Amino acid sequence: MSERVIIFDTTLRDGEQSPGASMNTGEKLRLAIQLEKLGVDVIEAGFPAASEGDLEAVSRIAARLKQAEVAALARASKHDIDEAWKAIQHAAKPRIHTFIATSDIHLEFKLRMRRDEVVAAAVEAVAYAKSLTDNVEFSAEDGSRSDRDFLCRIFEAVIAAGATTINLPDTVGYAIPQEYAELVAYVIAHTPNSRQAVFSVHCHNDLGLATANTIAAIGAGARQAEVTINGIGERAGNTSLEEVVMALHTRSNLMAVESNIRTRYIHPTSRLVSMITGIIVQPNKAIVGANAFAHEAGIHQDGVLKNPMTYEIMKPETVGLTTNTLVLGKHSGRHALRSHLRTMGYDLSNDELALIFKKFKELADKKKQVVDEDLEVIVTEGILRTSDVFKLDYLQVIAGNTVLPMASVRLDINGRQVQGAGYGNGPIDATFNTIAKLAGTSSELLRFSVSALTGGTDAQGEVTVRLRENALVALGKGADPDIITASAKAYVNGLNRLEYLKANPVRDAAVL
Ligand code: KIV
Ligand code: ZN
């Protein structure tokens, strides 16, 4: 019988450390609910000591989830652990995750502590966390560059103090699979009480090896994988959940380890993360990229038509990509929409369905065929994403080759309606200038990109913007068959994210 690997998702904590990828509390809650539905065992909901916003988001997630464990991160300090506990104490299954660096370079230059002091701080933190909950994880930050015998020493001490999960991160994405697997095997074999804890791995993707390292470490005995959806995270990102889960699933002949993940929810969850963070999934991304199951070469297409398994090692349906891109049109009813959304992994309440049905009808009026990609955008934009300060109420644009482009806009700002008009070099410039004036923003537009969701001139355009205001950077995303409307939605979404960042400053700039 296969053993089980615990899937620990840190999209809401390490994933949120991707540049510009802030999520507000409502969005975090939405995503946490989706992660629970996906079958994630442990959801790291945030770092409560880092900001008021994180504390609130973690508390709301903790109060809501019943199946998944909810973890909160804390440095090895009483203050951080108290904040973490404040946020998760009412969770059905709380976990405190405390960490301290163990590599010599971190000890000398960052912590300015000796090894003995680090062990003492780690033990004190774990013992304190254990006085609050039975479920305590300890991480040795920069573990992959730490002395292996020092790791065994600190792990033995924190397990004795009550840690039930021991995490050995490759914090800077430096490890190579064989080396990392050997390190994991070594510390499990040489930590005398290692059997009393689950060993975990947490990899970053700086060398593009995060998934390979995670799989190698599972082969060496790790039984928890720390991952994020779409592999988002600090710098080059974290190990991607979908890659690890599908590698275990697809190569179960080699890896006698399985996860609890309901793979059919992978694709909807990936779309949701991309929509709410604004981070685009690269087209060739394994499992969830737009081209992951697309066959371009004639010889491949021919093979796939004869037997999909000639060139497909996984079925697209397994990860929630319906082959049935059937399509709904303006005569399709509510029942057909609901059942089609179910096959795509979205179970909606009656109220949500009513809203989506209305948006679907509006789109079907503009576009002959509404395909899965369109439905995904309607669902993620319509109900899974929450808007806060600014809402786009109305937009009218005049453009052409003989007129000065002009936009008229009405914005809802915290329930107050403001309207105005403005000019620009083109229709999008006019729209952005007008929105900026009404919103009173001093932010700068760093990036603007448009892509088409599907083929055809009636395809929905998907727009991403990157905005900066002083030291804050936020991404915004919007989709619509009209690319000027999509651009306005993306801009407004970016402004909302900047507002959220302003309202929730990180308390301590040196947190991670
Ligand atoms: O990368 C890392 O070391 C971390 C720890 C806090 C687990 O994110
Ligand atoms: Zn990390």
pLDDT digits (tens, 9 = 90+) for 376-417: 888 877 765 656 799 999 999 999 999 999 999 999 999 999
Does residue 146's CB lie within 6 angstroms of at least one atom of ligand 1?
no
Which DSSP helix (H) or strand (E) runs through 152? helix 148-161
For residue 170, what are the β-bridge partners?
203
Distance (Å, rounded) from C-alpha 269 to C-alpha 280? 13
Token pair 């109060």 in the structure block, residue: 63
pLDDT digits (tens, 9 = 90+) for 92-131: 999 999 999 999 999 999 999 999 999 999 999 999 999 9
Distance (Å, rounded) from C-alpha 293 to C-alpha 136? 40
pLDDT of residue 508: 60
Atom of ligand 1 nearest to the CA of 171: 1
Residue 75 — pLDDT band, cuts 50, 70, 90?
A: very high
Query: Is residue 11 classed as helix, strand or coil in its secondary structure?
Result: coil
Distance (Å, rounded) from C-alpha 339 to C-alpha 348? 10
pLDDT of residue 339: 87
Nearest alpha-carbon partner for 378 in 496, 229, 278, 478: 478
Ligand whose nearest atom lies closest to the CA of 143 = 1
Distance (Å, rounded) from C-alpha 362 to C-alpha 133? 50
Does residue 13's CB lie within 6 angstroms of at least one atom of ligand 1?
no
Burial letters 422-433, b for 16+ CB under 10 A, else e: bebeebbbbbbb
Residue with more model confidence, 37 or 374 = 37
> Mean pLDDT, the chain, as a whole number?
92
Atom of ligand 1 nearest to the CA of 99: 6
Tell me, in angstroms, the distance from the centre of ligand 1 to residue 430's CA. 44
For residue 200, what are the β-bridge partners?
167, 224
pLDDT of residue 432: 98
Decide the pairing of beta strands 406-413 and 416-423: antiparallel
Distances (CA, A) of 405 to 53, 420, 447: 40, 14, 21
Share of the chain above pLDDT 70, in %: 96
Residue 466 above 90 pLDDT? yes
Nearest alpha-carbon partner for 77 in 132, 122, 133, 134: 122
pLDDT of residue 327: 66
Residue 326 above 60 pLDDT? no
pLDDT of residue 68: 98
The two three-digit tokens of residue 389, written as one number:
């300060």
Does residue 422's CB lie within 6 angstroms of at least one atom of ligand 1?
no
Distance (Å, rounded) from C-alpha 284 to C-alpha 496? 30
Average pLDDT over residues 348-355: 88
Distance (Å, rounded) from C-alpha 379 to C-alpha 362? 13
Does residue 165's CB lie within 6 angstroms of at least one atom of ligand 1?
no
Average pLDDT over residues 274-282: 87
Burial letters 46-72, b for 16+ CB under 10 A, else e: bbbbbbebbbbbbbbbbeebeebbbbb
pLDDT of residue 202: 98
Nearest alpha-carbon partner for 163 in 189, 200, 137: 137
pLDDT of residue 323: 59
CB atoms closer than 10 angstroms to residue 293:
18
Query: Is residue 468 classed as helix, strand or coil in its secondary structure?
Result: strand
pLDDT digits (tens, 9 = 90+) for 183-196: 999 999 999 999 99
Residue 249 above 90 pLDDT? yes
Considering only the C-alpha atoms of the chain, give the largest distance between any 2 of them, rounded to a whole number of Å.
Answer: 80
For residue 204, what are the β-bridge partners?
238
Is the C-alpha dihedral spanning 334, 338, 343, 346 positive or negative? positive
Q: Following DSSP, what letter does each residue of 22-45 receive, concatenated?
A: ---HHHHHHHHHHHHHHT-SEEEE
pLDDT digits (tens, 9 = 90+) for 195-238: 999 999 999 999 999 999 999 999 999 999 999 999 999 999 99
Decide the pairing of beta strands 406-413 and 198-203: unpaired
Atom of ligand 1 nearest to the CA of 204: 1
| Residue nearest ligand 1's atom 5 by CA | 141
| Residue nearest ligand 1's atom 7 by CA | 139
How many CA atoms lie less than 13 Å away from 349 in the CB half-sphere? Answer: 4
Atom of ligand 1 nearest to the CA of 73: 6
Residue 511 — pLDDT band, cuts 50, 70, 90?
A: low
Nearest alpha-carbon partner for 203 in 179, 194, 332, 325: 179
Neighbours of ion ligand 2 (CB under 5 A): 14
Does residue 10's CB lie within 6 angstroms of at least one atom of ligand 1?
no
Highest mean pLDDT among 19-23, 130-134, 491-495: 130-134
For residue 141, what are the β-bridge partners?
101
Token pair 């880092």 in the structure block, residue: 50
* Angle at 277 (CA atoms; ends 24, 246), nearest 5 degrees: 120
Average pLDDT over residues 440-461: 87
Distance (Å, rounded) from C-alpha 426 to C-alpha 279? 26
Tell me, in angstroms, the distance from the centre of ligand 1 to residue 138's CA. 10
Ligand whose nearest atom lies closest to the CA of 18 = 2
Distance (Å, rounded) from C-alpha 203 to C-alpha 193? 24
Please tell me whether the overall predicted TM-score, pTM, comes out greater than 0.75 for this model.
Answer: yes
Q: Following DSSP, what letter does each residue of 62-119 receive, concatenated?
A: HHH-SSSEEEEEEESSHHHHHHHHHHHTTSSSEEEEEEEE-SHHIIIIII---HHHHH
Best of 8, 98, 139 for a ligand 1 pocket test (most atoms within 8 Å of beta carbon): 139
Residue 509 above 70 pLDDT? no
pLDDT of residue 454: 74
The two three-digit tokens of residue 346, written as one number:
């979205």
Q: Residue 141 CA to chain centroid, in angstroms?
A: 21
